[in-house]
Amino acid sequence: MDVTEVDSELENIINGCLQNNRLSQRQLYDRYASRMFGICRRFANSDEEAEDMLMEGFMQIFKGLETFKGDSSFLTWMHSVMVKSAISHYRSIRRFHNEQFVGTLGDDFEFGEEETITTMVEARLVVDKLQRMPENLRVVFNLRAVENFSFTEISDMLGKKENAVRVAYMRARQWMLKELEVSS
């Protein structure tokens, strides 16, 4: 395994995990769980659901650990696995309600530059607001504004038309801006 960006302690933990060593798996979990929980919390309705997503994500990390080749940082790789796992969890438990996605954008509608919402307010406030956002909007908002996926990628992930995803994102931004105004 080429783990050029991985420190020797982490390399030992990863090698232990590759051998299904429970202690190594616990060490990896302890080292990164709080960071990964933050990702899950943005997609979940509650802390309990985020914990479920976290557990599922770590199972995917342990199962897919051999695919980590060191092309990116280990944390980046884990982040990607956790986001995909959270989306998979979301899709397995819920289905988007088509009526909530109905809508079209006019031909003259354009998205402006992406606002970095976390620079406008405290990150904790944003996460609390995200958990109250309608979940179909929250998932799209997270994938676009936080994870920086393209509308095409989000459309593919969620199995929805790209235009529907754009409408959901527009509504999510409007919802978030309204919520932030109320709390100011």
| DSSP sequence for 99-140 | HHH-----TT----SPP-HHHHS-HHHHHHHHHHS-HHHHHH
Cβ neighbours for 33, distance < 8 A, ≥ 6 positions apart: 54, 58
Say what the pLDDT of residue 43 is: 86
Average pLDDT estimate for 74-97:
79
Residue 148 in tokens? 């920086």
The mean pLDDT of the chain is 79
The Cα diameter of the chain in Å comes to: 57
- Confidence check: pLDDT of 28 > 90: yes
Eight-state DSSP code of residue 5: T
Place of tokens 């609390």: 128
Cβ neighbours for 70, distance < 8 A, ≥ 6 positions apart: 1, 2, 3, 4, 5, 6
Say what the pLDDT of residue 31 is: 95
**Euclidean distance between CA atoms 98 and 95, whole angstroms:** 9
Which DSSP string do the residues of 25-94 spell out, in sequence order? HHHHHHHHHHHHHHHHHHH-SSHHHHHHHHHHHHHHHHHHGGG--SSS-HHHHHHHHHHHHHHHHHHHH-
Say what the pLDDT of residue 108 is: 40
> 33 and 41 in contact (C-beta within 8 Å)?
no
**pLDDT 10s digits, 105-144:** 444 434 444 444 444 445 566 677 777 888 888 889 988 9
**Euclidean distance between CA atoms 163 and 144, whole angstroms:** 14
CB atoms within 10 A of CB 58: 20
Say what the pLDDT of residue 72 is: 83
